[in-house]
Amino acid sequence: MIAVVTPVYGNASTLGQLAGRLSAALDGAGLPWALRFVVDASPDDSLAVACGLAAADPRLVVTALAANVGQNRALLAGLAAEDAADVWVCLDADLQDPPEAVPALVARLAAGGAGVVFAGRRGAYECRGRLLTGTVHRAVLARLTGVPGDAGAFLAMDRPSRHALLALDPPSIVAGVGAAGISAVSVPVERDRRPSGRSAWTGRARARQSARTLAWVVGRR
């Protein structure tokens, strides 16, 4: 059973495509699944859209957060809410992470040798400035924790890894994998450009989150 957890903020225009593409990918692979939208106090119609999709498909469920807590805490809330699964997948709602890659992550996890499988980031999916700063952050995090240098928040994990992350309550799922000592690998996945809208992460917010995460990692060493 695959439980997919998706944080939602300003994604009303992509939720239908996400659910449809994920359904096609996982049904095509013969994998039973459920999708939990964690709507992070989104200011647009995301909650209404998510609830409408869930009403039409019992495999879709919605968690509505009363206050905005950010991507990472929304992911942790969704992981905590989904207990009856064998594999957990974290997947963003903006379609930069292709749902069609989920079966490959699950297959690599089933092959053994790792508790977490990251979708290794590939492609020109952001402007050069964001790509550069993101690459630098991931390189430093990899050096400090041992996680793959192309790791992002698109990943599949097993039950012991989920348990360890929830117990640790990290400021970043990726940093938490390294800090918990979870064995991890990555498989290359080409990311897409956002089909609509803009990222809610400003440059300043990204810098603050990076500094907070790296400080947390250093403080645990």
Reported as a single tens digit per residue, the pLDDT across 11-21 is 999 999 999 99
Please tell me the predicted confidence (pLDDT) of residue 129.
56
Whether the predicted model's global pTM rises above the 0.85 cut: yes
**How much is the pLDDT for 203?**
60
As given in the structure block, the two tokens for residue 159 are 């039950």
| Beta strand extents in the chain (DSSP E only) | 2-8, 33-40, 60-65, 87-90, 116-122, 155-157, 184-190
Listed as ranges, residues in the chain with pLDDT below 70 are: 124-134, 194-203, 206
Residue 183 phi/psi, 5° resolution? -65, 135
Note the pLDDT of residue 188: 96
pLDDT of residue 214: 79
User: What domains are defined for the chain?
Assistant: 2-219 (3.90.550.10)
Output phi, psi for 28, to 5 deg: -65, -30
